[in-house]
Every structure is written in structure tokens, then in C-alpha cells.
């Protein structure tokens, strides 16, 4: 399926790119304004290119079966994680509880997961990852903000249907089913845009981590959250995959994506809506750092199980 050495090399590469973002920010070469620009570029162009490219493969019955399987798994995760968030973090104040619940539901599977899956499994793996992320992206819009505020957004459905990542999934599905051959220039443009996703994503996350005060970073609450996010949730997903008899590739990808660290939007929303943004930044930092060890371990266990 994949070589473990390839995954280890990839994790080292990710660490070096995170380090690049960290150093650039500490030296004042990548500020808040630049991060906003990178985020906008990533969400509105690079990731959509990445998603569309993932659908440019030959469509067959096995792929249909596996895409349906990983979609069902992802929906199950989006049902399970809010329930876990309600019962696993007693004793925390409301501001911290909002951070813990949100980051249990919303992982960094988009920014960090897609590049890893693509490097390990190619376009077919990226296709499955893109399908996996549909329910999470919907939940971010429908329920994500509700953890930090009681405000109701009347335009939620419009935001979902017009989000660049969701639109690109619709475009990709249409291209895959119709098997329309796009002009070479368009395919190359999409591919070049797609190839930027790993670099920009990791540099951006490294830049976010650079804004976190390292002292008193680790606490029992954060370590417990990291266990839930990085080990408990993917462990439950792996068990479910094995019981359901899904294909090895789907099992590994679903397990790995389920074990991604806290989403970088956690700190952004916490700051915007009066949550504990400092605590959120610590959650992101610790879970991201630990994931450099747990993700290879999860892949190894999922590949052997």
C-alpha cells in the first residue's frame, strides 16, 4: 500500500516546512496580513485546484464503492465527535469548553491531511480525502460557529453551496462521471495550482504556531484533548472500518484523516467571538506537534490491522 519510510520522510518534510513558516514569522517576514493572504489563496484557489485534480481519474465501480464508504465513515465521525465533546471535558469553563468541543469536531484534515494523503496514495487517495472532507466542511458552516456564539446565520446554506471547496467537489464529480477530457493547458494549470497545497499549508500552520507563547504550553487538559483527537477518535474509526470490511486504502485514509490535529480555525474563531484564543493556540500547537508522531503510528497500525 505504501512504504513506512515514505511516511517518515514526509513527516520530516512537513516539520521542516512548519519550521520555515515559524522562522519566517519570528523574523518578521511573514506577518498577520501575509497569513490572511495565504489563507485566502489556499481556500479560494490552491485547495479547489487540488480537489478538482483529484477527480481527474478513471471512474469505475470500485471507486464508487470506496467513495460511498468513506463518505459514510465521515458522516459517522461528524455525528460521533459532537457527542464526545459533550462528555469528555468536564470541569472546564465555558470559554475553554467551546475550544475543546469545536476542535474535537473540526480537525486540520483539509490543510494538513490532503497533502499527506496525496503524497502517499496519489490522485485516488486525494479523491477519497476530498469526499471525506465534505461533511466536515458543512459542519464548520452549520454548527462550527455555534460553539462560540448563539447567533444564527440565515445564509448558511448559501455559504455551504458557494464555498470554493464545495463547488470544486461538484465540478470534480461532474468531470469524473462524464469522463470529459479537459484541454491540456487547463489540466496543467490545475495541477500546478494543486502542487502548491503542501508548501503553503505547512508554512501557514508554522506561521500560526510562531504566535504562540511556548512557556506553560502543556497541561493535563491539552494532553487529554490530544489523546482524544489523535488516538481515541482514529482508533474508533479504524475499529469501525475493520468491522465493516472496507478496503485497506479507505481504512488507512479514514483513520489518518480522523487523527489529524486541531483545526487552525479554532484559534481564529475563538479570537473573533470572545473565546479563549490563547488556550486555542496551545491546543493547536501541542496537537500538531504530537501528530508528527501519531500520524505515522496510525498509518502503520491501520496498514497492519
- Contact yes or no for 55/172 (Cβ under 8 A): yes
Contact between residue 122 and residue 58 where contact means Cβ atoms under 8 Å apart: no
Q: Which of 171, 145, 129 is nearest to 256 (CA)?
A: 129
What mean pLDDT do residues 280-297 have? 87
For 103-140, write each residue's pLDDT tens digit. 999 898 877 887 788 888 888 888 898 889 888 877 77
In this predicted model, what pLDDT tens digit does every residue of 156-183 receive, in sequence order? 667 667 778 778 888 988 888 888 889 9
Reported as a pLDDT band with limits 50, 70 and 90, residue 223 is: very high
Contacts of 151 (CB under 8 A, 6+ apart): 145
CA pair distance 36, 98, nearest whole angstrom: 23
> Which comes out higher in pLDDT, residue 143 or 262?
262
Q: For residue 75, what pLDDT is reported?
A: 94
Q: Is 215 exposed, middle or buried (0-12, 13-18, 19+ CB in 10 A)?
A: exposed
Q: What is the pLDDT of residue 196?
A: 86
How high is the pLDDT of residue 165? 77
Looking at residues 90-111, what average pLDDT do you find? Answer: 88
Burial class, 187, CB count within 10 angstroms (exposed 0-12 / middle 13-18 / buried 19+): middle
CB 163 within 8 A of CB 137: yes
Ramachandran class of 183: left when φ > 0, alpha when ψ lies in -120 to 50, beta otherwise? beta
Q: CA-to-CA distance for 237 and 61, rounded, in angstroms?
A: 24
| Average pLDDT rounded to a whole number, residues 200-215 | 77
Distance between CA atoms of 205 and 79, rounded to whole angstroms?
27
User: Does position 153 have pLDDT exceeding 60, yes or no?
Assistant: no
All structural domains of the chain? 4-304 (1.20.1530.20)
- Where does the pLDDT of residue 142 fall: very low under 50, low under 70, confident under 90, or very high at 90 and above? low
Phi, psi of 30 (to 5 degrees): -140, 100
Most confidently modeled range among 50-59, 98-107, 122-131, 141-150: 98-107
Residues with Cβ within 8 Å of 60's Cβ and at least 6 positions away in sequence, in order, are: none
Count of CB atoms within 10 A of residue 162's CB? 10
How far apart are the C-alpha atoms of 177 and 280, rounded to whole Å?
A: 41
pTM comes to 0.78
What's the pLDDT score for residue 234?
96
Residue with cell 506577518: 31
Averaged pLDDT, 225-229: 96
What integer pLDDT is reported at residue 100 of this predicted model? 93
**What's the pLDDT at 160?**
65
Residue 190: the pLDDT is 93
* Greater model confidence, 12 or 23: 23
Find out whether 271 and 208 touch, Cβ atoms under 8 Å: no
pLDDT at 146: 72
Q: How far apart are CA 221 and CA 237, in angstroms?
A: 23
Is 117:7 a contact under the CB 8 Å cutoff?
no
pLDDT at 2 over 60: no
pLDDT in tens, 25-46: 999 898 888 888 888 888 789 8
Rounded mean pLDDT of 237-259? 92
Q: Where are the alpha helices (DSSP H) in the chain?
A: 4-26, 32-41, 47-54, 61-87, 94-105, 114-139, 156-162, 164-178, 184-194, 197-210, 220-227, 233-244, 248-258, 265-272, 277-304
pLDDT of residue 303 exceeding 70, the answer is yes
Amino acid at each position: 500500500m505504501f512504504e513506512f519510510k515514505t511516511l517518515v520522510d514526509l513527516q520530516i518534510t512537513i516539520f521542516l516546512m512548519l519550521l520555515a513558516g515559524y522562522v519566517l514569522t519570528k523574523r518578521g517576514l511573514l506577518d498577520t496580513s501575509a497569513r490572511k493572504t495565504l489563507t485566502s489563496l489556499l481556500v479560494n484557489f490552491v485547495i479547489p485546484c487540488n480537489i478538482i485534480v483529484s477527480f481527474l481519474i478513471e471512474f469505475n465501480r470500485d471507486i464508487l464503492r470506496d467513495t460511498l464508504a468513506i463518505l459514510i465513515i465521515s458522516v459517522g465521525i461528524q455525528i460521533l465527535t459532537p457527542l464526545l465533546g459533550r462528555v469528555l471535558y468536564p470541569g472546564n469553563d465555558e470559554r475553554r469548553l467551546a475550544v475543546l468541543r469545536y476542535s474535537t469536531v473540526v480537525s486540520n484534515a483539509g490543510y494538513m491531511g490532503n497533502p499527506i494523503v496525496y503524497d502517499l496514495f496519489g490522485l485516488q487517495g486525494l479523491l477519497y480525502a476530498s469526499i471525506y472532507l465534505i461533511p466536515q466542511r458543512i459542519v464548520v458552516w452549520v454548527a462550527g460557529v455555534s460553539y462560540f456564539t448563539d447567533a444564527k446565520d440565515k445564509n448558511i446554506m448559501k455559504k455551504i453551496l458557494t464555498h470554493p471547496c464545495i463547488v470544486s467537489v461538484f465540478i470534480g464529480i461532474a468531470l469524473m462521471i462524464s469522463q470529459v477530457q479537459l484541454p491540456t493547458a487547463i489540466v496543467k494549470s490545475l495541477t500546478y495550482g494543486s502542487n502548491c497545497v503542501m508548501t503553503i499549508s505547512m508554512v501557514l500552520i508554522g506561521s500560526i504556531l510562531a504566535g504562540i507563547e511556548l512557556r506553560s504550553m502543556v497541561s493535563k487538559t491539552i494532553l487529554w484533548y490530544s489523546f482524544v483527537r489523535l488516538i481515541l477518535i482514529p482508533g474508533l474509526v479504524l475499529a469501525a472500518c475493520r468491522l465493516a470490511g472496507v478496503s485497506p486504502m479507505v481504512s488507512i485514509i479514514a483513520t489518518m484523516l480522523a487523527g489529524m490535529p486541531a483545526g487552525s480555525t479554532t484559534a481564529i474563531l475563538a479570537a473573533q467571538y470572545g473565546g479563549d484564543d490563547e488556550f486555542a493556540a496551545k491546543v493547536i500547537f501541542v496537537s500538531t506537534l504530537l501528530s508528527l508522531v501519531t500520524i505515522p503510528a496510525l498509518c502503520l497500525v491501520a496498514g497492519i490491522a
